[in-house]
Structures are given as structure tokens and as C-alpha cells.
Amino acid sequence: MDIYPIPVPVSLGVVALIIASAIGLSLRRDARQQAARPVKQS
């Protein structure tokens, strides 16, 4: 079974893209939850 060697920059780019996507989606989710939360009036 031959495995195609993936260049290191491509591999790191894919990992960076996955991490950046996860952070972006997390921030977006948090912003939507903040917007949906009722405003406390004092």
C-alpha cells in the first residue's frame, strides 16, 4: 500500500484552516447567544 506524501506546508495549512474555522464558529455562536439573551434592566 503506497501512501502519497503530503507536503508539510499543505498539512499545516489544513490544520490552521480547521482551527481558524472552529474559533470563528465559536465566536459567532457566542455572539448569537449574547444577542438572544434578554437584557437585564436595573
Q: What is the pTM for the complete model shown?
A: 0.67
Question: Which pLDDT band holds residue 39 (cuts at 50, 70, 90)?
Answer: low
* 1-36 burial: b if 16+ Cβ within 10 Å, else e: eeeeeeeeeeeeeeeeeeeeeeeeeeeeeeeeeeee
pLDDT at 38 over 90: no
pLDDT at res. 17: 98
DSSP calls for 1-35: ---PPPPHHHHHHHHHHHHHHHHHHHHHHHHHHHH
C-alpha span between 34 and 25 (Å, rounded): 14
Segment 6-37, tens digit of pLDDT: 999 999 999 999 999 999 999 888 878 777 77
